[in-house]
């Protein structure tokens, strides 16, 4: 075996994961850009594109770390609202079916309904960095930060329209438990969306990706964050996570419907989606 983490017993895993993210919190964003060559931004943009949230939506972003998904969510909704206002402004000129349909949804104030995003993470240090980022960007409306465990969420049943977990679920000790909790806190009709490293399908790309993961990532971890071990853990946890089809089955077993996935960058990352009915 390559790495010491592989033999970590289950009970130890949560503690190790906490230490890893406590260690990397301050450098987390820089490392993400460095290790993925900035591509993690495109994966996250893709998540929002597929989600296509509407004004008024309530998001819970679990393992939300430094807030990347929540920021994109609020930003996406804001641009949706601006687009809607422009349509309204134009509707006095040439009415079309689009203007008529948008006026239905704005007459009762729906266009400006409050959307909200809750970032939930087990790690205080990660949330602290996220909050700081939000302060710097001047974002506060509709955004909250909550310390909590994906396996035991501190929220009531049927609260959220969308549950996201981006590059977080592989860190959770009992994935089935986290899926149960996701199902519990979603409203009926709500959507579960997960971004996670997955199995590269193209054999040539798979070999390149292997070389990159095992030889480049820990070195970058050492050089940029002074932390080889945390980045060894990262590579190893990616290898151990179930592949696309396996995770799809786990979601179905948990009780999600219409489960589907999209491969991003040849399966380096998969985006899984499912609904609570």
Distances (CA, A) of 210 to 71, 184, 200, 217: 31, 37, 10, 10
Is 68 known to sit in a ligand binding site?
no
Residue closer to ligand SAM, measured from CB, 102 or 164: 164
Q: Give the CA-trace dihedral at 58, 145, 224, 35, to 10 degrees.
A: -10
Residue pair 164/193 in contact (Cβ under 8 Å)? The answer is: yes
Residue closer to ligand SAM, measured from CB, 102 or 195: 195
First to last CA, the chain: 43
CB of 108 to ligand SAM, least distance (A): 34
Is 94 known to sit in a ligand binding site?
no
Is 34 known to sit in a ligand binding site?
no
Binding ligand SAM (rule: CB under 6 A), the pick from 33, 88, 151, 222 is: 151
Binding ligand SAM (rule: CB under 6 A), the pick from 35, 57, 118, 166 is: 166
> Which part of the chain contacts ligand SAM (CB under 6 A), choosing from 62-70, 78-86, 208-216, 242-250?
62-70
**Are β-strands 186-197 and 116-121 bridged in parallel, bridged antiparallel, or unpaired?**
unpaired
Tokens 């955004």 locate to 143
Residue pair 39/265 in contact (Cβ under 8 Å)? The answer is: yes
Consecutive H or E run containing 184:
helix 175-185
Residue closer to ligand SAM, measured from CB, 40 or 111: 40
Binding ligand SAM (rule: CB under 6 A), the pick from 31, 58, 65, 76 is: 65
CB of 17 to ligand SAM, least distance (A): 5
192 binds ligand SAM (CB under 6 A): no
117 binds ligand SAM (CB under 6 A): no
Tell me the site size for ligand SAM, rule CB under 6 A: 20
Q: What is the DSSP string of 204-264?
A: HHHHHHHHIIIIIHHHHHHHHHS-HHHHHHHHHHHHHS--HHHHHHHHHHHT-EEEEEEEE
Residue closer to ligand SAM, measured from CB, 77 or 193: 193
Binding ligand SAM (rule: CB under 6 A), the pick from 115, 116, 123, 273 is: 123
Which residue has the closest beta carbon to ligand SAM? 65
Query: Between residue 38 and residue 57, which ones bind ligand SAM under the rule CB under 6 A?
Result: none
Joined together, the tokens standing for residue 76 give 């996406």
129 closest CA partner among 30, 60, 264, 4: 30
Residue closer to ligand SAM, measured from CB, 116 or 123: 123
Q: How far apart are CA 250 and CA 182, in angstroms?
A: 13
> Which part of the chain contacts ligand SAM (CB under 6 A), choosing from 86-94, 118-126, 135-143, 154-162?
118-126
Is 150 known to sit in a ligand binding site?
yes
Sheet holding 257-264, edge to edge: 143-147, 116-121, 58-62, 160-166, 186-197, 269-275, 257-264
Residues binding ligand SAM (CB under 6 A): 17, 21, 62-65, 68-69, 121-123, 126, 149-151, 166-168, 171-172
Residues of each annotated binding site: 66, 121, 149-150
Binding-site annotation, residues for S-adenosyl-L-methionine: 66, 121, 149-150
């Amino acid at each position: 075996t390559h790495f010491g983490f592989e033999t970590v017993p289950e009970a130890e895993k949560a503690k190790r994961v906490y230490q890893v993210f406590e260690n990397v919190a301050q450098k987390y964003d820089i490392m993400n850009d460095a290790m993925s060559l900035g591509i993690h931004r495109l994966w996250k943009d893709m998540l929002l594109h597929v989600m296509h949230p509407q004004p008024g939506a309530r998001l819970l972003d679990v393992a939300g770390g430094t807030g990347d998904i929540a920021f994109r969510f609020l930003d996406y909704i804001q641009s949706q609202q601006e687009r809607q206002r422009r349509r309204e402004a134009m509707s006095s000129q040439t009415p079309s079916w689009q203007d008529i349909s948008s006026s239905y949804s704005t007459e009762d104030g729906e266009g400006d309904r409050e959307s909200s995003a809750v970032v939930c993470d087990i790690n205080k240090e990660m949330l602290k960095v996220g909050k700081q980022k939000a302060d710097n960007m001047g974002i506060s409306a509709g955004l909250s930060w909550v310390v909590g465990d994906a396996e035991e969420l501190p929220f009531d049943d049927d609260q959220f329209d969308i549950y996201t977990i981006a590059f977080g679920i592989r860190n959770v000790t009992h994935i089935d438990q986290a899926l149960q909790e996701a199902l519990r806190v979603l409203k009926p009709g709500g959507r579960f969306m997960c971004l996670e490293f997955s199995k590269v399908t193209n054999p040539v790309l798979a070999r390149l990706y292997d070389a990159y993961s095992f030889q480049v990532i820990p070195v970058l971890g050492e050089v940029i964050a002074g932390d080889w071990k945390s980045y060894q853990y990262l590579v190893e946890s990616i290898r151990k996570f179930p592949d696309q089809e396996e995770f799809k089955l786990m979601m179905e077993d948990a009780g999600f419907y219409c489960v589907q996935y999209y491969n991003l960058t040849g399966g380096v990352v998969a985006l899984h989606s499912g609904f609570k009915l």
